[in-house]
Amino acid sequence: MFCHRHVPRLKKLIILCAAVLIGFSIHGITYLSVPKDSHSDYDYDMTSMGKDMRYALTANIMNHPEEYLDRTIKADGTFYAYPAGNDHWQYAIFISDTLGCCSAGIPMILSEDFQKPENGAAITVCGTLKYVEYAGRQQISLQDAKVIVN
Amino acid sequence: MLDKLMMYLQYPFVIRALTAGILIAFSASLLGVILVLRHYSYIGDGLSHVAFGAMSMSYVLGIVTQKMLIILPITVLTAILILRVKQKKIQGDAMIALLSTAALAIGYLLMNVFPVSANVSSDVCTSLFGSTSMLTLSSGEVWASVVLSIAVTGMMIFLYPRIFAVTFDENFAKVTGMKTDQINLILAVITAAVIVLAMNLVGSLLISALVIFPALSAMQIQKSFLRVLLMSCLLSVLGTVAGLLISILAGTPVGSTIVLVYLGIFLLCFVIGMFHD
């Protein structure tokens, strides 16, 4: 079943596989693309995605904001307003996965023409992702957010 | 459908998920053949439960961002305990059952008694079933997968004859003067590292599938150790890529979709193997 003549062959095969995989990985880690949803007016139209993909995209926007800066998005989720000190209120859209056990939120700055919805309202929002300063630090937010209560 | 797939394949987080998935599947399948042949198929399940317990400890201690500092050492120590320590009164499978159920109970208890995180259900869901953690990986976690796959590949290349000997007849290997304890120690450390990282892929309850399905599938259609090893890697990587892409397109959970694809591959190999025989 086994003899030592197999070893050099195994080494070559495994080294070849490992080299291909590592090359692919470096591409994967350094990959930054500018995808555009060809079926929508927005760069990311979350309303046409599955719930897990919506949650994953939202979590990635918050964890890797540099990859999503200046992109336009359309998303549906739950509206929340919460106090952020000095009579200031921060607004956000929360998006959950299929089972509803994981949620992630994107802060929003509402467009002047749009009214603040009730807390917990199901909304659809569209806007552009920009850095905004909150409490002395840069945070990605959905600027000029146009909210529609579903 | 193809348009949608091509669009998703441009998302950086999908590329990260595919990269880490392929690397972890590759590492787990290489290790899986050895573990299945040594009758340690359930070690993945056991160690992942221990890792869950350790993760709960890191939450309670408030070091969530550096949780690997707690998870990895505890899981490695448990792997050493299972793979190296030969107890006369407690056999290998009983030891796995003992440690895994105890760790799972401790972990869940800690999370309930000290609910430091506001979102405990999310933490439990993610660590047990993987949830969408595969699609929310950081670059650091992908780099960890790269380092791990290099370590596993290096181990297989440089220690192949010794691992082979220890896998098939440890007593004979010991009699011939081979340092089997060292090999077992290396295997234990690598196994623990693979399990901890694979938790990100499918969650701790489904981790055994990553370790045993590709090895068992390959064993149905190949007979030599080398061919089983290579076939196992191939099936594992194919199964992971197919499962991940199906889950993204169909909106199904990543972990269970990958496992069901593995099951399909196993059944196919089983039928082919019957005709082969």
What is residue B238's predicted lDDT score, i.e. its pLDDT? 94
B225:A2 CB<8 A = yes
Q: Tell me: pLDDT of A91 over 80.
A: yes
User: What are the angstrom distances between the C-alpha of B57 and each of B12, B72, B79, B124, B210?
Assistant: 32, 12, 18, 13, 25
CATH number at residue B197: 1.10.3470.10
Q: What is the identity of the amino acid at B93?
A: D
A60, A63, A68, A73, best to mutate vs chain B, most B CBs in 10 Å: A60
Contact yes or no for A120/A145 (Cβ under 8 A)? no
Higher pLDDT residue, A72 or A150? A72
Q: Do A21 and B26 touch (CB under 8 A)?
A: yes
Residues of B in contact with A29 (CB under 8 A): 16, 19, 139, 142-143, 146
Radius of gyration of chain B (CA): 19
Residue B178 lies in a domain: yes
Chain A, 97 to 126: residues with Cβ < 8 Å from chain B are: 97-99, 101-103
Closest Cα in chain A to B237: A21
pLDDT band at A1 (very low <50, low <70, confident <90, very high): very low
Task: Flag if A22 and B160 touch (Cβ within 8 Å).
Answer: no
What residues contact residue B57 under an 8 Å CB cut-off, 6+ apart?
B70, B74, B107, B110
In the structure encoding, which two tokens stand for residue B22, read together?
């392929």
Longest dimension (CA), chain B: 61
Beta-strand pair A72-83/A44-45: parallel
In chain B, the number of structural domains is 1
The token pair at B267 is 């059944």
Give the model's pLDDT for residue B118: 59
Residue B276 covered by a domain: no
Closest partner CB to A53 (pick from B20, B142, B248): B248
pLDDT by residue for chain B (277 residues), tens only, comes to: 777 888 888 888 888 888 888 888 888 888 888 888 888 788 888 888 888 888 888 888 877 677 778 888 888 888 888 876 665 667 767 888 888 889 889 888 888 887 666 566 666 777 777 667 788 888 787 888 888 888 888 888 888 888 888 888 888 888 888 888 888 888 888 888 888 878 766 777 678 888 889 999 999 998 888 889 889 999 999 999 999 999 888 888 888 889 999 999 999 999 999 887 6
Banded model confidence at residue A96, pLDDT cuts 50, 70, 90: confident
A102 vs B19, B131, B250: nearest CB: B131
Nearest to B108 by CA among B100, B266, A99: B100
A34-56 burial: b if 16+ Cβ within 10 Å, else e: ebbbeebebbbbbeebbbbbbbb
As a whole number of angstroms, the distance between CA A48 and CA A25 comes to 29
Residue-level pLDDT at B88: 60
CB contact under 8 A, B160 and A7: yes
Which residue segment(s) compose the domain that B180 sits in?
2-271
Average per-residue pLDDT for chain A: 80
